[in-house]
A and B are shown apart, each in its own frame.
Chain A
Amino acid sequence: MGNVPTSVKHCLSYEQLIQDYPWLGSRLQEEKCTLTREYPEYVKMIEVGPRDGLQNEKEMVPTRVKIQLINMLSETGLPVIEATSFVSLKWVPQMADHTEVLQAIHRSSHARYPVLTPNMHGFQDAVAAGATEVAVFGSASETFSQKNIYCSIDASMLRFEEVICTAKQQQIPVRGYVSCALGCPYEGPIEPTKVAEVVKRLYELGCYEVSLGDTIGVGTPGSMAKMLHYVMEEVPSSALAVHCHDTYGQALANILTALQMGICAVDSSVAGLGGCPYAQGSSGNVSTEDVLYMLHGMGIKTGVDLSKVIEAGDFICKALNRKTNSKVAQARSKSS
């Protein structure tokens, strides 16, 4: 064993090494099989359609439609379904029926139903309505934070600290989101070190997972890899997720990059619900169907039934009177 470093030091060829140490060949063959498995075996899918998706749709969706959508999604095997948002209806009228939705959905024992809670007021309402998991939404861009939630990043962290502390006392898990992880509609490119700082703060405050959002979909595998490199120096990959927007068609390539770097939780939206509010008419969230198609094609388990997701997507698109943004759903419906 002591000779092996010497071999490496003198840069012997691989063939020479195998000749000198025949036992090395079979050990390296085992390792080769492990190395080719460079992707997670399982990816957790976080379905954000009913909240992030519907919140950004122009049409106001009736409560019973939302409930049916969530129930259909529960039947697909999705492990996490973001149900609604306890934000003031002054700002997000589409989510005004949050209590009714949360109380009426049929909760599968295999799924969790986090809700957005921007502050203590929202958190308390959410808990009163039966929420068992919540989410808080930070930003890596100061300008975006100011324009979106009317306060600085620092001030938002203080707000979240209050929510997370209280949630911890009540044993309610909190998920964190960081917007503008790969670019901001106001500031342009965002320094990966800034993203890492914000992610670290949310994680240290007590978020069990932090979802990194490419809010305007400008990221590419290059910027995704760079950003993840810095973030993963501060927070373990097992506590990270990616939330890619497909506005520039880059989402699946960005998700693939994230998987290659060890991320195994992916946010997506059934039928690609939820356009980009910063580029009217452009697409926003990546479609759950398209992500599943890719993951299953790579032999990665998700526990989700793709055909049932397509059905749920068909249902909500009919209700919204719009076409799906999912290419898989389009192809399946148009195959001759």
Chain B
Amino acid sequence: MAAVMRFVKRSCFGSRMGLQCLSLSRSAAVAKLVQDGASAGKTLPERVKIVEVGPRDGLQNEKTVVPSEVKIHLIDMLSEAGLSVIEATSFVSPKWVPQMADQVEVMMGIHRRPGVSYPVLTPNLKGFLAAVNAGAAEVAIFGAASELFSKKNINCSVDESLQRFEVVTKAAKEAGVPVRGYVSCVLGCPYEGKVSPDKVAQVAKRLYSMGCYEISLGDTIGVGTPGGMTEMLQAVSREVPVNALAVHCHDTYGQALANILIALQMGISVVDSSVAGLGGCPYAQGASGNVATEDVVYMLHGLGIQTGVDLPKLMDAGAFICRSLNKKTSSKVAQATCKL
């Protein structure tokens, strides 16, 4: 209808009705812009759910192996900061991911705040059963939009991985455990280069159809820009409802916040991020990876969007883990604020 209104504006300059409609819509639009602080006149969600992936995706990609009590304390601090979803650990074989070998201890050691979920990664049925045994109440599975990435990362094709996941989602359904799906390489692959938005949509659709309540679209190597993000989200949202989608942007090329803003403007209201920007990019050693939760929250709050997150408490959690890792934060908000 907006397109029709614009056409009317061009064709009916003299029409009183047209002018009235225009003046009403213009002043209404101005009022909204001023009151809501909406970005560039585009509608944004009132509330955004942040999915904190620092303790898993973040720590898994840090060189230093972190003691269990530090992980537990980090997760507890993040719970206190108001985050409603905190990815706690990963039930992947310690042979492949030694940083997550203490998965059971972490699950049992964290203080679970009411109303907060603590999903864990489960690549297969074995991992799923171990996770449930350790008390997991939500799990996550990880697909890829790139064949080569799937082969190199989990040693099987995309189809084979989806079949594996179907076993997990079936078991999870029977156990009443929600499953979140991830799709890697949605805006580019370190091996294949460009990834077709239709392929991303296909994989997202399959994960959604097999029962994932939400699909997180990951720009694994951070190469995406607002152009690619728009195209990809248009393709995916034709197959999966937008309220079941999330974005997981890496900041390797500094594009994460711009990409997240575009996603919000397209109706996405779930954003993954990592406290202190933990977790570098394994494909560009030393380059940054996950976008920092502090920077995302700063932007969202500046837009008047609610997150439920207490930014100072979040920054405390970031400071804590950086001290433990003996490294500088990757969050610009944290860097700026501590120096004022």
Within 203-231 of A, Cβ neighbours of B (below 8 Å) are at 217, 219-226, 229
Q: A249-B295, A297-B227 are in contact. Are A225 and B33 (CB under 8 A)?
A: yes
Asked whether, in the complex, the Cβ of A28 is within 8 Å of the Cβ of B41, the reply is: no
| Residues of B near any A CB (own CB < 8 A) | 1, 3-8, 11-12, 15, 17-18, 21, 30, 33-34, 37-42, 222, 224-228, 251-255, 257-258, 260-262, 281, 283-288, 292, 295, 298-299, 301-304, 331-333, 335-336, 339-340
Partner of B252, one of A279, A297, A327: A327
Closest Cβ neighbor of B34 among chain A residues: A226
Does A89 belong to the interface (CB within 8 Å)? no
A304 to B319, alpha carbons, bound, how many Å? 39
Q: With A250-B298, A260-B40 given, name 6 new contacts (CB 8 A).
A: A6-B17, A8-B17, A31-B6, A226-B34, A276-B336, A327-B251
B1 / chain A contacts, CB cutoff of 8 Å: 14
A279 to B262, alpha carbons, bound, how many Å? 29
Closest Cβ neighbor of A249 among chain B residues: B332
Asked whether, in the complex, the Cβ of B332 is within 8 Å of the Cβ of A4, the reply is: no
Q: How far apart are A12's CB and chain B's nearest CB, in angstroms?
A: 9
Asked whether, in the complex, the Cβ of A221 is within 8 Å of the Cβ of B299, the reply is: yes
B257 / chain A contacts, CB cutoff of 8 Å: 249-250, 252-253
Partner of A336, one of B258, B285, B295, B304: B285
Number of A residues with CB within 8 Å of any CB on chain B = 59
Asked whether, in the complex, the Cβ of B37 is within 8 Å of the Cβ of A281, the reply is: no
Closest Cβ neighbor of A223 among chain B residues: B302
Closest Cβ neighbor of B251 among chain A residues: A327
Asked whether, in the complex, the Cβ of B283 is within 8 Å of the Cβ of A220, the reply is: no
Does A42 belong to the interface (CB within 8 Å)? no
A sample of 20 cross-chain residue pairs with beta-carbon separation below 8 angstroms, ordered by A number, consists of A5-B8, A17-B4, A32-B3, A217-B336, A219-B302, A224-B39, A247-B332, A248-B332, A250-B295, A250-B302, A257-B39, A294-B226, A297-B255, A298-B226, A330-B284, A330-B286, A334-B287, A335-B283, A336-B283, A336-B284
Partner of A14, one of B4, B12, B292, B303: B4
Asked whether, in the complex, the Cβ of B261 is within 8 Å of the Cβ of A331, the reply is: no
A229 / chain B contacts, CB cutoff of 8 Å: 30, 33-34
Does A83 belong to the interface (CB within 8 Å)? no
Asked whether, in the complex, the Cβ of B40 is within 8 Å of the Cβ of A257, the reply is: yes
A296 / chain B contacts, CB cutoff of 8 Å: 225
Asked whether, in the complex, the Cβ of A222 is within 8 Å of the Cβ of B225, the reply is: no
Closest Cβ neighbor of B285 among chain A residues: A334
Partner of A221, one of B4, B40, B227: B40
Partner of B39, one of A225, A252, A280, A327: A225
Q: How far apart are B32's CB and chain A's nearest CB, in angstroms?
A: 11
| Residues of A near any B CB (own CB < 8 A) | 1, 4-6, 8-9, 14, 17, 24, 27-28, 31-32, 35, 217, 219-226, 229, 246-250, 252-253, 255-257, 260-261, 276, 278-283, 287, 290, 293-294, 296-299, 326-328, 330-331, 334-336
Chain A interface main SS type: helix
B287 / chain A contacts, CB cutoff of 8 Å: 327, 330-331, 334-335
A283 to B288, alpha carbons, bound, how many Å? 15
A28 / chain B contacts, CB cutoff of 8 Å: 3-4, 7
- Contacts between the two chains (Cβ within 8 Å), count: 180
Asked whether, in the complex, the Cβ of A225 is within 8 Å of the Cβ of B37, the reply is: yes
A253 to B285, alpha carbons, bound, how many Å? 25
Q: A252-B257, A293-B255, A297-B255 are in contact. Are A225 and B335 (CB under 8 A)?
A: no
A59 to B257, alpha carbons, bound, how many Å? 31
A328 to B258, alpha carbons, bound, how many Å? 14
A283 to B3, alpha carbons, bound, how many Å? 42
A246 to B336, alpha carbons, bound, how many Å? 10
Asked whether, in the complex, the Cβ of B298 is within 8 Å of the Cβ of A331, the reply is: no
Asked whether, in the complex, the Cβ of B42 is within 8 Å of the Cβ of A299, the reply is: no
B40 / chain A contacts, CB cutoff of 8 Å: 221, 225, 257, 260-261
A247 / chain B contacts, CB cutoff of 8 Å: 332, 336
Asked whether, in the complex, the Cβ of A225 is within 8 Å of the Cβ of B298, the reply is: no
Q: How far apart are B222's CB and chain A's nearest CB, in angstroms?
A: 7
Asked whether, in the complex, the Cβ of A280 is within 8 Å of the Cβ of B339, the reply is: yes
Asked whether, in the complex, the Cβ of A8 is within 8 Å of the Cβ of B5, the reply is: yes
A290 / chain B contacts, CB cutoff of 8 Å: 253-255
Asked whether, in the complex, the Cβ of B37 is within 8 Å of the Cβ of A294, the reply is: no
Asked whether, in the complex, the Cβ of B8 is within 8 Å of the Cβ of A220, the reply is: no
A32 / chain B contacts, CB cutoff of 8 Å: 3
Q: A14-B1, A249-B257 are in contact. Are A221 and B39 (CB under 8 A)?
A: yes
B303 / chain A contacts, CB cutoff of 8 Å: 220-222
A224 / chain B contacts, CB cutoff of 8 Å: 39
Q: How far apart are B166's CB and chain A's nearest CB, in angstroms?
A: 33
9 nearest A-B residue pairs (beta carbon): A220-B302, A297-B225, A249-B332, A327-B254, A222-B37, A260-B40, A298-B227, A290-B254, A249-B295
A217 to B40, alpha carbons, bound, how many Å? 18
Closest Cβ neighbor of A233 among chain B residues: B30
Q: A221-B302, A252-B258 are in contact. Are A279 and B339 (CB under 8 A)?
A: yes
Closest Cβ neighbor of B261 among chain A residues: A253
A221 / chain B contacts, CB cutoff of 8 Å: 39-40, 261, 299, 302-303
